[in-house]
């Protein structure tokens, strides 16, 4: 069986680190975001969608990319704010030990995903890590999950997905796999 797990909000509570790094990057450009707004309106979404309103509504595409690139540079400064989902960590370790393959499917960047997974000593658990850089359509589109299934040659009936956010749950359900919703940890 293939076990797919979302990163942000599912395996790790990265909201404080993502919010802080986006806030720092936005403030360098004369904008800001509160922790509450980030958690309610940005978490689980794609940066090209949520940064636009934070930057006045119609920023130049290169300005959005500049903020996002700077956020990725600053992210490692805030890893101490990340909290692991210890129950899911234990579950994944047991599933891996039982021979199941693990894939991390995230809308985050490869750089930040690798940094945070390495920080928590679990990057080596994953047989595949798919990020926003590996798909053309991000969540809520199921492309990332379907791509993971294709990589391992498994069907949706042979796949279990752990997800938390609205866009992620929509993607997971649209893939046809079994889905477990992570609500709090």
pTM: 0.88
Quick: pLDDT tens for 87-101: 999 999 999 999 999
Quick: pLDDT tens for 67-86: 999 999 999 999 999 999 99
Using alpha carbons only, give the angle 172, 93, 132 rounded to the nearest 5 degrees. Answer: 35
What is d(CA 114, CA 75) in angstroms, rounded to the nearest whole number?
Answer: 11
Backbone CA torsion sign across 12, 17, 19, 22: negative
Predicted pLDDT of residue 185: 81
What is d(CA 131, CA 23) in angstroms, rounded to the nearest whole number?
Answer: 22
Q: For each of the domains in the chain, give its residue range(s) and CATH number, in order of start.
A: 2-13+82-181 (3.40.50.1000), 15-80 (1.10.150)
The radius of gyration of the chain from alpha carbons, rounded to an integer in Å, stands at 16
**Strand, coil or helix: 181:** strand
Start-end of H helices in 75-137: 86-97, 110-119
């Amino acid at each position: 069986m293939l076990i797919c797990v979302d990163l942000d909000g599912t395996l790790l509570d990265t909201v404080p680190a993502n919010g802080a790094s986006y806030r720092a990057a936005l403030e360098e450009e004369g904008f800001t975001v509160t922790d509450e707004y980030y958690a309610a309106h940005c978490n689980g979404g794609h940066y090209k969608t949520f940064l636009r309103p934070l930057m006045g509504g119609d920023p130049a595409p290169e300005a959005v990319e500049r903020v996002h690139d700077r956020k990725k540079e600053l992210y490692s400064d805030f890893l101490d704010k990340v909290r692991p989902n210890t129950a899911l960590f234990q579950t994944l370790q047991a599933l891996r030990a039982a021979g199941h393959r693990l894939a991390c499917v995230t809308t985050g960047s490869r750089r930040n995903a690798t940094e945070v997974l390495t920080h928590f000593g679990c990057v080596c658990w994953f047989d595949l890590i798919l990020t926003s850089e590996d798909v053309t359509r991000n969540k809520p589109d199921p492309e990332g999950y379907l791509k993971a299934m294709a990589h391992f040659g498994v069907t949706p009936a042979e796949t279990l997905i752990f997800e938390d956010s609205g866009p992620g749950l929509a993607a997971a359900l649209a893939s046809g796999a079994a889905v477990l919703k992570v609500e709090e940890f």
